[in-house]
Structure 1
Amino acid sequence: MSVYRQALPQLGDQLFITDGGLETSLIFHEGIELPEFAAFVLLKDQQGRDALKKYYRSYARIAKQAGLGFILESPTWRSSPEWGGKIGYTRAELHDINTAAIELLESIREEFESAGQPYVISGCIGPRGDGYRAENRMTEAEARDYHEEQISSFALSAADCVTAVTMNYVEEATGIALAARKQGIPAIISFTVETDGRLPSGETLDEAIAIVDTACKGYPAYYMVNCAHPSHFESNLAEMKHIDRLRGIRANASRCSHAELDEAEELDDGNPEEFGLDYRRLLTRFPGINVVGGCCGTDQRHIEHVSLQLVRQDAA
């Protein structure tokens, strides 16, 4: 049963952290092979589940020690019909995988959550296509129908919300929000942007939020930006009319463009200390943002520095 579905605690003033770059950490730091960048395959056996628990516990401890809330984002970015089918999973198996992912996060929440420190469980949804390129675009209706299957699995689970990450065009984001509304589960939409602060499809972050909100009558609980370095979008945030709808950031460690990251053979983990300072500056400038974490190239070091800066800021 969902604990927070009716009233997501991150909609208040409390600060929350998330984990870092799940897939890049597993591949480059743990030496685990992930077909099609799909971390959900680790749920198929005990060894894989243990690896995921080790990963999530490391971040849960950071939140616990810092006195911050925590968003447990499921390892299901690729567990939708098309991506799952590419690596041999049936739709019935994907339903079981999505359910098992939430159950694993429930065990982490039971271990770490305490009064005043909520641990929110989110069902992670990824794009149908490439996260970096807005190609083979769907209509809103097509996106709704495609993603509803995965969302329905989360709606039947203990997930408190669903979060669509690395969204690169508005029709897919809108379809996901419409499917979540139909299934009765809160939806969070996270867009990715290029080095100029625009979506790969060309819209500004502000324009994308306005388009989705209009199409869905404001259904998304809030919006985020992920898979881009702060230097790619910080100046754009100052110009946003809808900055109040942006509550979360999961930035990349690297300053590289999406195209450069696609070609990279080694992990660019940037500077963890600088990463933390970037977040302190962003939250000082934009105090409505209260959900922060990492994306590609980030790991526990980056989130430790972020949490340290958040605690210092909160105490100031």
Structure 2
Amino acid sequence: MAKYKGALPQLSDKLFLTAGGLETTLIFHQGVELPYFAAFILMDAEDGEARLAEECARFAEIARGSGLGFILDTPTWRANRDWGEKLGYNAAALDVVNRRSIEMLIRLRERFETPASPMVISGTIGPRGDGYRPDDMMSVEEAQAYHSAQIASFAASDADMVAAFTLSYAAEAIGIVRAATEAGMPVAISFTLETDGRLATGMSLRDAVAAIDDATGGAAAYFEINCAHPTHFTQAFETDGAWIQRLRGLRANASKRSHAELDASPDLDAGDPGELGREYRDIRRRYGQFTVLGGCCGTDHRHVEQICLACTADEARAA
């Protein structure tokens, strides 16, 4: 049965790490072909599951070595109906791969978890469409119905929670929160922001968080930001209000490029891992509720190590 489903430990003041950008690491550093950025297909490839597990293990080792918690995320960002159909997966096959990915992470938790390093298993959900361009937006009801299948797969497993990443408009997020609540699953919502600190629709992060909480009675466990650089989104924090306490997770891009520039780029911009770590440290000095720290596109173990070093050094001095 799920170990932390009833009480997520990352809601305490303890620091938790996450992995970096899985898809960009596989494509640009390991030469793996991932059509549509779909890492979940490796679950059915020769030695693919082992590759995914060992990639995740690199980050779990960093967390364990530093006495921090860790969020184990499934490689299922694209494992929903529309993307699955493009890749030859029907509903039954998607259900199997979503559940198997949880089983893979359970084995990793058994391998790495210690009392000082609790490890939470999270089922990853991605947007129905393009995370950068919300061209065909769903209603709340459509989003709830659409994402309920993947959430049901995770709810039937030993997952502790689900987390939706690179969302770009509020209605899809509301639908996901409602579907997760109906399935009895804790849920985190993560938005990608543009260089002006707003969602792709132009909505402010503050208004998006408020809209989701108002529509769901505050049912989301917490909110995150991913797939944007800190220089793009820290301006979004400059408004007053208790809403900012709902933000707990940072999973930034390594690159300062815009989403349009990243889409058009044939190379990987890995940025400066040390600089990224210091930027996380500076954010936490002002907003200490950010306790879930990792990376997104272009980041790898080097970036997460620097984030860990910068933020734990601050904690050590405070102690």
Q: Structure 2-normalised TM-score?
A: 0.98
Counterparts of 1:168-183 in structure 2, within 5 Å, are 168-183=168-183
Quote how far apart the aligned CAs of 1:46 are: 4.4
Q: Which amino acid aligns with 1:160?
A: D
1:143 aligns with 2:116: no
Q: Percent identity?
A: 51
Q: Deviations over 1:80-108 (max 9, x none)?
A: 01101111001100000000000111111
> What is the alpha-carbon distance in structure 2 between the residues aligned to residue 209 and residue 70 of structure 1?
25
Quote how far apart the aligned CAs of 1:159 are: 0.7
Would you say the 8 A contact 1:178–1:216 is kept in 2?
yes
Quote how far apart the aligned CAs of 1:309 are: 1.0
Name the residue aligned to 1:166: 166
Q: Which amino acid aligns with 1:313?
A: D
Q: Which amino acid aligns with 1:299?
A: D
Q: Which amino acid aligns with 2:258?
A: S
Quote how far apart the aligned CAs of 1:238 are: 2.7
Q: Which amino acid aligns with 1:101?
A: S
Judged with a 3 Å threshold, the aligned counterparts in structure 2 of structure 1 residues 74 and 240 are, in CA distance, closer, same or farther, namely farther
Name the residue aligned to 1:292: 293
More displaced stretch, 306-315 vs 166-175: 306-315
> What is the alpha-carbon distance in structure 2 between the residues aligned to residue 312 and residue 159 of structure 1?
32
> What is the alpha-carbon distance in structure 1 between the residues aligned to residue 86 and residue 174 of structure 2?
25
Name the residue aligned to 2:70: 70
Name the residue aligned to 1:196: 196
Would you say the 8 A contact 1:191–1:224 is kept in 2?
yes
Would you say the 8 A contact 1:177–1:187 is kept in 2?
yes
Q: Which amino acid aligns with 2:133?
A: R
Quote how far apart the aligned CAs of 1:116 are: 2.5
> What is the alpha-carbon distance in structure 1 between the residues aligned to residue 133 and residue 240 of structure 2?
23
Q: Which amino acid aligns with 1:106?
A: I
Counterparts of 1:1-316 in structure 2, within 5 Å, are 1-241=1-241, 242-316=243-317
Aligned residues: 316
> What is the alpha-carbon distance in structure 1 between the residues aligned to residue 46 and residue 221 of structure 2?
34
Q: Which amino acid aligns with 1:73?
A: D
Q: Deviations over 1:28-59 (max 9, x none)?
A: 01110011110000001341011101101100
> What is the alpha-carbon distance in structure 1 between the residues aligned to residue 228 and residue 160 of structure 2?
26
> What is the alpha-carbon distance in structure 1 between the residues aligned to residue 191 and residue 47 of structure 2?
33
Q: Which amino acid aligns with 1:104?
A: M
Would you say the 8 A contact 1:294–1:303 is kept in 2?
yes
Would you say the 8 A contact 1:144–1:172 is kept in 2?
yes
Q: Which amino acid aligns with 2:262?
A: L
Would you say the 8 A contact 1:212–1:218 is kept in 2?
yes
Q: Which amino acid aligns with 2:313?
A: R
> What is the alpha-carbon distance in structure 2 between the residues aligned to residue 157 and residue 116 of structure 1?
25
Q: Deviations over 1:198-236 (max 9, x none)?
A: 000111111000000000110000000110000001122
- Structure 2: stretches of 5+ with no match in the other structure: none
Q: Which amino acid aligns with 1:150?
A: Q
> What is the alpha-carbon distance in structure 1 between the residues aligned to residue 232 and residue 24 of structure 2?
20
> What is the alpha-carbon distance in structure 1 between the residues aligned to residue 46 and residue 19 of structure 2?
21
Q: Which amino acid aligns with 1:103?
A: E
Q: Deviations over 1:229-251 (max 9, x none)?
A: 00001122131521110001100
What secondary structure is seen at the aligned counterpart in 1 of 2:311?
A: helix
Would you say the 8 A contact 1:206–1:240 is kept in 2?
no
